A and B are shown apart, each in its own frame.
Chain A
Amino acid sequence: SQTIHQWPATLVQPVGSPLSLECTVEGTSNPNLYWYRQAAGRGLQLLFYSVGIGQISSEVPQNLSASRPQDRQFILSSKKLLLSDSGFYLCAWSVTGLGYTFGSGTRLTVV
């Protein structure tokens, strides 16, 4: 069966520190992968999406970047975190592009 793992679950980082959030998918090949951010009490904002290794598209300009070093691995990074980067980050995958399966999310607090 297909599963998606996302870690860490919670992260508190100082302003200016780097960030690395990882997402891996099991049980499927060549999935479409997505990173979303959800601010407190708000909807979901698409940050990045990828249809293959090394293929990353960004929806909005920001302090974040994404990489896909392996078919089933998607990484969200930042060189220097800002206070505004705080939020709940969700990774998701889709094979046929129908619905998404989401990871359990990472709650990031930048202090």
Chain B
Amino acid sequence: AQTVTQSQPEMSVQEAETVTLSCTYDTSESDYYLFWYKQPPSRQMILVIRQEAYKQQNATENRFSVNFQKAAKSFSLKISDSQLGDAAMYFCAYRSATDSWGKLQFGAGTQVVVTP
């Protein structure tokens, strides 16, 4: 079974600065998808960014970018120019490309605190 590990329970960043969240996963598969979800205090889960394992190019969505290292099974999220609205819990998630059920395996989450 695949496992997703987020080793940082909490990260603090000042406004306008950059923070990087780490995520590692364990899998024997070569084709899969990785995701970062944001959960603000409202607890609504919001998809931040998605990466397909067969794509070498790192995904980017505005101020959010990932560093995908397939051999190292690492999938970190970088938040640039941090804003107060970025304060939230961030979850890394894995989905096998061969799983027809489409189940996502989530990490334990990293709480991001943004200070003015």
Stretch from A19-27, A65-73, A78-86, A97-105 at the B interface? A97-105
B43-71, CB under 8 A of A: which get 1 and which 0?
A: 11111001000000000000000000000
Q: Kindly report which residue of chain B lies nearest to residue A59, judged by CB atoms.
A: B103
Is B35 part of the contact surface with A, judged by Cβ < 8 Å? yes
Q: Kindly report which residue of chain B lies nearest to residue A105, judged by CB atoms.
A: B43
Q: Kindly report which residue of chain A lies nearest to residue B4, judged by CB atoms.
A: A43
Assess the B91–A94 pair: CB atoms within 8 A.
no
Assess the A100–B107 pair: CB atoms within 8 A.
no
Evaluate whether A104 and B44 lie within 8 angstroms (CB atoms) in the complex, with A43-B91, A97-B95 already known.
Answer: yes
Assess the B109–A98 pair: CB atoms within 8 A.
no
Is B28 part of the contact surface with A, judged by Cβ < 8 Å? no
Assess the B101–A102 pair: CB atoms within 8 A.
no
- A interface, over-half SS: strand
The distance in angstroms between the C-alpha atoms of A49 and B95, with both chains bound, is 14
Q: Kindly report which residue of chain A lies nearest to residue B39, judged by CB atoms.
A: A38
Chain B contributes a number of interface residues (CB within 8 A of A) equal to: 21
Q: Which residues of the other chain, A, contact B25 by a CB distance below 8 angstroms? A: none
Q: Kindly report which residue of chain A lies nearest to residue B101, judged by CB atoms.
A: A49
Q: Which residues of the other chain, B, contact A88 by a CB distance below 8 angstroms? A: 43
Assess the B107–A43 pair: CB atoms within 8 A.
yes
The distance in angstroms between the C-alpha atoms of A103 and B46, with both chains bound, is 10
Assess the B44–A105 pair: CB atoms within 8 A.
yes
B79 CB to closest chain A CB (Å) equals: 19
B64 CB to closest chain A CB (Å) equals: 14
The distance in angstroms between the C-alpha atoms of A51 and B103, with both chains bound, is 11
Q: Which of A34, A42, A90, A104 contacts B108 (CB 8 A)?
A: A42
Assess the B44–A57 pair: CB atoms within 8 A.
no
For the complex of A and B, 6 pairs with smallest distance between CB atoms: A97-B102, A102-B45, A43-B108, A44-B106, A94-B102, A32-B102
| Chain B residues at the A interface, C-beta cutoff of 8 Å | 33, 35, 42-47, 50, 91, 95, 99-104, 106-109
